[in-house]
């Protein structure tokens, strides 16, 4: 409501009326702000992680555990990459995909564990707003890329077992490069979309995240602006980047297992299944922990349970991949043994 300039000059007591109207307007604005939950709106420059805050006395123990997991992940995946690079016997499409998966797992864990390790010894476990968005970008990129890459690896196993005579043509070098490039592009497009939409949110206080990492659903809870577009895109991405590779992989293995069961000899069935057992195990671990992490109901679970599930998905799974492949694959085990013996021999010569 507005008092005109002429009314102020000509109406007796008009100054008092305008003041009264102004006070009423301020009170109404304050009530509306409180009603819609905007009173705590702030410009957030950093976030505080609350993950592991209930176990501050065990931070030294947690630091050692996660440091060991991180070093094991780096060592195991680096050895897989070296083995597939230097051994001519491993210059095949399956191991080309495996080498890319190992590189992806190194990037995957490096987006979360280093920040976590530093925060174990900080009184205030913080991450900047820009750092949080960067973590979301790399984390979503790696997670989306890995799901699509595992589907590409399932296609490779399908062609190898169900269409072996056409394998050299269907899985040529050009096709393999296109599949890996396409996996990364899917992950990048998905991540750029989510990160851009997240950056447009208006975030409100408090600036506390009940976790040890930044993730999109956690930031949506802190938003005081409309998140319907973000949530819709999340559902679409869950169906395309999450569910579709999972269903494609499951369908591939239905055909693979059917083909293996039609092999007449037990030795032939065992040999065929051994070529895809490692990948099948990795697929079950990755998609199983991913679905349990994101698709389970949030009600009824404590913060500790949320942390445990996320640790299994974000931290433990990348460590298990090289272990699974090295334990269940004779070719990889043989190359790794040669690498270790060669290193020991070189050390003896130098000494």
Distance in angstroms (rounded) separating the CA atoms of residues 30 and 26: 6
Strands 208-209 and 46-49: parallel
User: Order of strands across the sheet with 126-128?
Assistant: 126-128, 46-49, 208-209
Report the pLDDT value the prediction gives residue 346, as an integer from 0 to 100: 54
Report the pLDDT value the prediction gives residue 146, as an integer from 0 to 100: 93
Taking CA atoms, 145 is separated from 103, 111, 127, 150, 307, in Å, by 11, 14, 25, 9, 23
Q: Tally the C-alpha atoms within 13 A of residue 55's C-alpha that lie toward its C-beta.
A: 13
Token duo for residue 259: 């083909």
Report the pLDDT value the prediction gives residue 337, as an integer from 0 to 100: 76
Which residues lie below 8 Å from residue 161, measured CB to CB, with a gap of 6+? 256, 259, 260, 272, 275, 276
Report the pLDDT value the prediction gives residue 147, as an integer from 0 to 100: 93
Token duo for residue 89: 């016997």
- pLDDT by residue, tens only, the chain of 351 residues: 444 434 433 444 444 444 443 444 334 434 433 333 333 444 678 888 887 766 777 888 889 999 999 999 999 999 889 888 888 888 899 999 999 999 999 998 999 999 889 888 887 888 898 999 999 999 999 999 999 999 999 999 999 999 999 999 999 999 999 999 999 999 999 999 999 999 988 887 678 888 888 888 888 888 888 888 988 998 888 888 888 999 999 999 999 999 999 988 888 888 888 888 888 888 988 888 888 777 666 555 556 677 777 888 888 889 988 888 776 667 777 777 777 776 654 555 555
Report the pLDDT value the prediction gives residue 35, as an integer from 0 to 100: 35
């Amino acid at each position: 409501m507005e008092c005109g300039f002429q009314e102020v000059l000509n109406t007796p007591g008009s100054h008092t009326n305008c003041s009264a109207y102004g006070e009423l307007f301020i009170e109404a604005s304050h009530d509306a702000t409180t009603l819609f939950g905007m009173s705590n709106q702030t410009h957030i420059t950093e976030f505080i992680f609350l993950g592991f805050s209930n176990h501050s006395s065990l931070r030294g123990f947690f630091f050692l555990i996660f440091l060991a997991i991180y070093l094991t992940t780096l060592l195991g995946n680096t050895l897989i990459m070296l083995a597939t690079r230097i051994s001519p016997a491993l210059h095949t499409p399956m191991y080309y995909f495996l080498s890319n998966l190992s590189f992806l797992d190194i990037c995957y864990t490096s987006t979360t564990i280093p920040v976590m390790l530093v925060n174990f010894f900080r009184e205030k476990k913080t991450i900047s707003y820009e750092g949080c968005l960067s973590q979301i970008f790399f984390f979503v990129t790696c997670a989306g890329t890995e799901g699509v890459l595992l589907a590409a690896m399932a296609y490779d196993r399908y062609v190898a077992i169900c269409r072996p005579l056409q394998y050299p043509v269907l899985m040529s070098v050009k096709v393999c490069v296109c599949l890996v490039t396409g996996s990364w592009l899917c992950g990048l497009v998905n991540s750029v979309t989510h990160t851009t939409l997240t950056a447009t949110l208006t975030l409100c206080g408090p600036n506390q995240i009940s976790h040890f990492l930044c993730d999109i659903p956690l930031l949506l809870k802190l938003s005081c602006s409309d998140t319907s577009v973000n949530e819709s895109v999340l559902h679409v991405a869950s169906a395309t980047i999450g569910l579709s590779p999972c269903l494609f992989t499951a369908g591939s293995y239905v055909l693979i297992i059917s083909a293996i069961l039609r092999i007449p000899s037990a030795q032939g069935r065992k040999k065929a299944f051994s070529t895809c057992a490692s990948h099948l195990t990795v697929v079950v671990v990755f998609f199983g922990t991913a679905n349990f992490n994101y698709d389970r109901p949030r009600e009824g679970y404590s913060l500790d349970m949320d942390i445990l599930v996320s640790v299994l998905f974000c931290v433990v799974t990348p460590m298990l991949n090289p272990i699974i492949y090295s334990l269940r694959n004779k070719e990889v085990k043989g190359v790794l043994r040669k690498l270790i013996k060669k290193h020991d021999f070189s050390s003896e010569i130098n000494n």
